[in-house]
Structure 1
């Protein structure tokens, strides 16, 4: 660390270089944080004997039927949302933990109970009647969030009061939804079981448009962080379509796994061959991004890359400008076989030296890859996971499978560098939702100075004792072997 500070002073490192070096090490040291527990059972007044049994770590669950989705607000990083397979939504206050290194059991700060299928709410809140499919905070206001469920509805909620603000029935299962992080419009893009992307305008309160395609169900959709009217969608036919919602035709591009050069090279090559630029097609109509359904899309926050994942077991990185396949290879460890929206995210830019890291929910484990070349950086295995890359199926594997990931950057914000939860590190924290009902926390492992010094001192003591013993032995042999005469 002192060497990096010297390099910064001499100009060999940028001002934020030492912080990047530190966070790079921390990002590669993530490990389970079992001291953080999420208990969705808000009941109080239980007998002491039952409380002791129920408070064992493996008995503490956030949702009894399984956790299907997580969302964490990006402003303060304080509020975590969890959606259950039973249809309930729970709100957690992460700041209720004073010391991140001590055992702490989080309890819901608010709960939106499920509504029975006949439409009668079990409790106040008018929640969903079926399992939650996706949760997301409103991009400009942490006091509002959106939820979707298998009951075919999209709902807008107030975070502070857990009250319903608006509800939209799309008459189709909604797998995921997305809101532009930069646009002035309030259009929500919904990936549904029908072969088109449904657009819901929160201002007018209606489903204003459908981006029609013919590729089977839409499993994922995400907006561009640079262009407010541009989004991409992943379809069951293996295509990733690029849309401009202002255009009548809609589709302005297709990602092509066979194209590693991009749009610019294709145009220049066609012009050099004497073709009329006005007749050059912008993309191949038969272009495929994956050989099977595309169920995960992510646009990096700097807008430079698009990441896609498909049921063919491949993760691909695309240049967002030229739409070229960067040919990054993520190996054969990737497991992706469930026809529903999968969870991945990329660490904020400039958080580490070199390229950013991609975190992928891989059944019972989390894989971290280098985004540039796809090399594996670390594997985070869930406690109790056995053979994460084992045979397909299996009851225990299915119950412990990771369904969603949520990233909490240092200091809470989406890209800030500061202490996390008072812990003093600058890498952040990670939360995973599991179908066994648990929410698990992952944090960087920071070696304390006492631990390091004790180890070093122990080594030094052993070496010092050996040297002293050898010196005494040498002196003793020298004296005893020398003939002494008296005069």
Structure 2
């Protein structure tokens, strides 16, 4: 396990025009980096190259307006191999792609903008949770190629982040612009397990009426589970990152303070990245901040471990839009920025 300092280098200067909103690396070979941009383009890059080489040409690219009419909000590889990938867009669609032919296999059409989606890594039928510009969450799957369930609970606005539990295929977390974070069990008739309450800091019964429970005092726009699925991290436009435990018992705010450096002011998805178990002795979280920095913090006590500053003279104001781990065997990370650049992060030798 590595506990040293990290440094960043430019992987590519201009992968897209404007924001690269989402990144994902395939979970089989950990070699193919999938990118989706606000320019509606899709690109795939080979990350198994010399660290010193700045990339200029992706393996393949679908230019603007070919796959989607508007910007992409999320991209994700099929969790089981490299045969397919998924894209979500503000053009109201989630599309399934054949990665070898770069053809659309199927398009799920919604009546609202797609802010986020997550493919269930435990379900080979392709169960997908979709967060929309409404308070509803739609569940669709590849087997029936249609909507199989709707989760209702967020009061108003949009659902900005959805995340399946890494250990329970039936449990889903969602974060909304109404400031609520909700835990769902899709098997149950009353599907909502919990609406997290920032005022509940122990296992005593929450005194807040269920209708008024909030995880954040402003929009909640990011989620990440720890690798055991026992805790959930949420981000909000109140400039707070909160860690939640006891999720089977209504959820408890652990009151961990990540300090004043974290800033989150944009109403768009900003999922944090929790380190993989093989990368650190103790769990670490990476928090992309509106300052352009990425804050590497302890998930146990919120202590700042390192402030990651992207390379380049304009980096201070170049907000990082996405941050992901390459894979359990390779201790590298990638981030994308509002200028279309991609940064590779690694540990000093």
TM superposition score normalised by structure 1: 0.67
1:110 paired residue number: 60
User: CA 1:208/1:321 → structure 2, altered by over 3 Å: closer, same or farther?
Assistant: closer
Q: Which runs of 4+ in 1 moved over 4 A?
A: 385-388
What displacement does 1:79 show?
A: 0.3
Distance (whole Å) between structure 2 residues aligned to residue 350 and residue 259 of structure 1:
32
Q: CA 1:104 to 1:436, structure 2 compared with 1: closer, same or farther past 3 Å? A: closer
SS at match of 1:203: coil
Do residues 69 (structure 1) and 12 (structure 2) align? no
Partner of 1:222: 163
The answer on 1:30 being equivalent to 2:6 is yes
1:297-346: CA deviation from partner (whole Å, max 9, x where unpaired): 11122112100001111000111444211111101111101111003111
More strand by share: 2
Q: What is the aligned length?
A: 345
Contact 2:258 2:303 in 1 (8 A): yes
- Residue aligning to 2:151: 211
**CA-to-partner distance for each residue in 1:77-132, whole Å, 9 max, x for gaps?**
1000111211110011122x1x32x33425211112333xxxxx5xxxxx011111
Q: Are 1:233 and 2:233 matched, yes or no? A: no
Q: Which moved more, 1:105-114 or 1:67-76?
A: 105-114
Q: Is the 8 A contact 1:94 1:106 kept in 2?
A: no
Tell me whether 1:359 sits opposite 2:277 in the alignment.
Answer: no
Q: Please, which of 241, 253, 269 is the counterpart of residue 325 of structure 1?
A: 253
> Is 1:192 the equivalent of 2:132?
yes
RMSD between aligned residues: 2.1
Alignment equivalent of 1:142, drawn from 62, 82, 88: 82
Task: List gaps (5 residues or longer) in structure 2.
Answer: none
Q: Is the 8 A contact 2:157 2:176 kept in 1?
A: yes
Q: Is 1:309 the counterpart of 2:227 in the alignment? A: no
2:268 paired residue number? 340
Which sections of structure 1, spanning at least 5 residues, go unmatched?
1-19, 39-59, 116-120, 122-126, 268-280, 389-396, 410-414, 421-427, 447-487
What SS is found at the alignment partner of 2:265?
coil
Contact 1:148 1:154 in 2 (8 A): yes
Q: For residues 249 and 65 of structure 1, do their structure 2 counterparts lie closer, same or farther at Cα, with a shift above 3 Å needed?
A: same
Q: Using CA pairs below 8 Å that are at least 6 residues apart, which structure has the higher relative contact order?
A: 2
Q: Counterparts of 2:202 and 2:313 in 1: how far apart (Å)?
A: 41
Q: Is the 8 A contact 1:155 1:164 kept in 2?
A: yes
Q: CA deviation at 1:246?
A: 2.5
Tell me whether 1:173 sits opposite 2:123 in the alignment. Answer: no
Larger of the two Rg values belongs to structure: 1
Counterpart in the other structure of 2:346? 443
Q: Distance in 1 between matches of 2:83 and 2:209?
A: 41
Could you report, residue by residue, the CA deviation over 1:423-469 in whole angstroms, capped at 9, with x for unpaired residues?
A: xxxxx1121111112112122121xxxxxxxxxxxxxxxxxxxxxxx
Whether the 8 Å CA contact 2:134–2:156 is kept in 1: the answer is no
CA distance in 1, matches of 2:142, 2:238: 35
Contact map agreement 1:68 1:83 (CA 8 A) in 2: yes
Decide whether the 8 Å contact of 1:254 with 1:283 is kept in 2.
Answer: no
